[in-house]
Each structure stands twice: as C-alpha cells, then as structure tokens.
Amino acid sequence: MSLGIYISVPFCSTKCSFCNFASSVFSRALFDRYVEQVCAEIAAASRTARELGGRLEKRVDSIYLGGGTPSVLAPDQLERLFHAVREQVEVESVAEITVECAPGTIAPDVLEALLRCGVNRVSLGVQSFADKECSSVGRLHTRAITLDDVARLRTAGIGNISIDLIAGLPHQTSESWEFSLSETLATGVPHVSVYMLEVDEDSRLGTELLAGGSRYHAHFVPDDDLTADLYLVACERLEKGGVKQYEISNFARAVTHGIGLRDSRHNRKYWTRQPYLGFGLDAHSMLPADTELRSRGIEAVRFATPASLEAYSAAGNELDPPAARSDQLLASRTLVDARAALEESFFLGLRLNAGISLAALAQQFGCEAVEECHPVIAEAIANGLMEAASERVRLTGKGRLLSNEVFGSFLRGANSSAVGGFSI
C-alpha cells in the first residue's frame, strides 16, 4: 500500500484569531533553519521507522504540505523540501501533490517553484468571500485576490483546487454565507471543505468567546444553532451545485472522465487508516508494525513530533540530531493493537458519507470483536444518529452534527480512553 507524506510548515503571514494549530508568525530568518531540520528529518526516515518499530513503504502516492502557510516559503526552500522527499522515496507518476496556500501569498516565483516541484493540487484557505468576515479574523486577502489566485493557478495548469470555508465567523449571517457559497460554486473548483468554527482556549478568538468578551469581534460570532444551520445549508447548496459531500467536512465534484469524485487522496488515507509519514512541527504518522511488533499483536505504530517550535528545534541542535529526533518520536509513540485498530476504523471511517462495511471489519478483526460494537450501533440508530443498509453503517445528517458524541460512544463502548493519540 503506497505511503502518504505530510510536511508541516508552521509559518504564516499573520496569525488568524480562530487558529488553534501549531503555527504562527515568525522571523523569516528562522525559515531556512527550519527547512534544513525538516530535510534532515526526511533523510533519517528509514532509520526512524526502524527504531520505532514501523514498516516503511518507499512508494509514495500523495504528498501534502500544510501548516501554516507553506506558500510563504521562498522558492528555493520549497524546492529543497521536495528534493529531500524524492531523494528518499519513489514518488509515483500519478501522485497527488498538494500545497496549502493562503490567497495573496502565491507570488509568481512561488507559483513557478510549485510547478517545478510537481505540485498538481492547491488548497486555498479562503474561509469566506465576504471581505469584512475575513478581515475580522486577521485574514489579509479579499474576494478579488482569491478569484485572481484561482485564475492564475488554472492558467498555470493547476486546476485541481480546493477552497476552505468556515461557518460561524464573526459578522457572518445567512445572507453572507449564501454569498460565499454562491461565489465558491461560481469558481467551479472541484473540491470544497466546510468547517464549523471551533471554539476552544487554544485560539485567541475561542478564549475570548469562552470568557464572554468582545475582543477579536467575539460578540459578532453567530451562536451554535446558527452555525449548525449554516453547515446544513452548505451541505444542501453544494449538493445542488454538483459538489457532493463525501466526508463530514469535505465535498467534491465528479471526475470529468471516469468514475468517482475529485476527493483528497491524502486525507482519505487518514480516514481509511492507510500509512502516512509526517515531518516537521506537530506532524503525525501511522505506519504498519514491523514483524517483531506484529508477533506481539500490534497492528500499527503512531507517533508525532513536538507541537512547539522550541521543542522541535531542540533535537536539531543535538550532537546527534537523528538520535535526538528518534527519542522525541519514541516518547510520543502509541502501539495500536487489534482492539484499538477496530475503534479507529469506526471513528475514522464513519467520517465518510459511505460509512463502513461491517462485513469487511469482521473479516479483518473477527466477527466476535465487531459484534461487541452492535449495542453501540443499535443505540446510535435508535437515536437517529446512524443508519444501516446492506451491511454498512453510516452517520445520518444529525449524526454528522453530533459526530464527536457518536465517536466517543464507540470508544466508551470498548472501554478505551484514547486511541492513537487522536482527539475526538
């Protein structure tokens, strides 16, 4: 099974008030050092996998640069990252190669570098086509800049474009949301991601909302009910516009010639538990267990790099950086046994509209293990959160809105407090 590679670039032109990711605004002087460390981490990938008990597949069919805003890097820095990857693995000719970009950051020389690196997919963090909503959360772009970027990408030959939208931004109304959806559909992009604003103490806006304050336009944030309604409107509006929902937050158009949707191959790896390897700050990985661990009943190993730039950089300053990095990753390692793998299959696979096949799970994990989950499934169906048909189960529309509750019920049902280090 081909490997997916994720590279984290935690640098931004500005830190959005709603952002809770491990990214921020740093001096450009740090960029080169960071790229050097990530390249060294990539070069040590085989050693790292071996020391953590993972089996590393050298064929790669997806590469994803996320963050942060990878497009703030200089062209030569982007090229060094891609060169480091190609030095270590075999990138398939049909690989999906995605870079996240903020509108307004794709300078001509950056676009040329992306093309030289083989990038064939760009994810644009638009969030809204209403300029007031963007500026209220610290975004620097406008509707006009976004539309210009879409046109320039297409002219350059990158037509596989994804647009991110957020429901629940300050000043957002039903009317302004309809405008953002209409503008998104008018672009004709093949992929759209729709997220509901996440309110937590790890972002400035979330902290202010929880405190009941008014900084960062917090008093103009729609309430939970309206935000949920906006999400449901997006599902309906995009579907009518030919952009079909295939995952809780993701929508895609049908492939022009052939069968299927223009979905995100890389993200599908996460939902279907395919192997992936992450590099850079706060990057997560999952690899099949090696022979020795499998003999002990371990299916896979999960591990992650530090979530702070200081901790991540510290390993690069050691006398033996690869060994220091391995120590960091080993400290985060989670061994995934069959029970945990089954739990993951439920709470990751149920994110997909197609749901999961109980017959396939029974074949992989055994009938008895799957039957233990039947009471949880039955309760979710009775509560209108799940539905079953032809040996498959999936979330209903209501279930997608309350997906964390459904996922948590499978973990509680299996008497497990954590799986693979994932937050649900």
Q: What number is the average pLDDT over the span 174-194?
A: 98
pLDDT above 60 (res 344):
yes
What's the pLDDT tens digit per position in 54-82?
999 999 999 999 988 999 999 999 999 99
255, pLDDT greater than 90: no
Q: Which of 328, 363, 324 lies closest to 342, judged by CA?
A: 363
Q: Spell out the long-range contacts of 201-209 with Cβ–Cβ below 8 A and sequence spacing 24 or more.
A: 202/20, 203/17, 203/18, 203/19, 203/20, 204/15, 204/17, 205/17, 205/18, 205/137, 205/170, 206/18, 206/20
pLDDT at 424: 27
Work out the pLDDT band at 257, boundaries 50, 70, 90. Answer: low
**How many other CB atoms are there within 10 angstroms of residue 120's CB atom?**
17
Name the average pLDDT for the chain.
92
Residue 129 pLDDT exceeds 60: yes
The CA distance from 337 to 218, in Å, is 43
Mean pLDDT of 388-392: 89
**pLDDT surpasses 60 at 153:** yes
Confidence category of residue 20, pLDDT binned at 50, 70, 90: confident
Instruction: With a cut of 70, say whether residue 402 has pLDDT above it.
Output: yes
- Inform me whether the pLDDT recorded for 420 exceeds 50: no
pLDDT at 415 exceeding the cut of 50 = no
* Look-up of token digits 């976004």: 146
Q: What is the mean pLDDT of residues 409-413?
A: 72
Tell me the whole-structure pTM to 2 decimals: 0.93
Superfamily of domain 3-268: Aldolase class I (3.20.20.70)
Does position 333 have pLDDT exceeding 60, yes or no?
yes
The pLDDT value recorded for residue 422 is 32
Q: Where exactly are the structural domains of the chain?
A: 3-268, 338-413
In the sheet that holds 90-101, the strands lie side by side as 244-247, 250-252, 191-196, 160-167, 121-127, 90-101, 59-67, 3-9, 276-279, 284-288, 298-304, 334-337
- The Cβ of residue 246 has, within 10 Å, a number of other Cβ atoms equal to 20
Contact in structure between 156 and 119 (CB atoms under 8 Å): no
pLDDT for residue 259:
67
Q: What are the tokens at 57? A: 């597949």
pLDDT at 113: 98
Phi, psi of 280 (to 5 degrees): 95, -175
SS3 of 369, please? Answer: helix
In one letter, which amino acid is 192?
V
Fold that domain 338-413 belongs to in CATH: Arc Repressor Mutant, subunit A (1.10.10)
* For residue 92, pLDDT beyond 60: yes
**Cis ω on the peptide bond leading into residue 157 (within 30° of 0)?**
no
Q: What mean pLDDT is predicted for residues 177-204?
A: 93
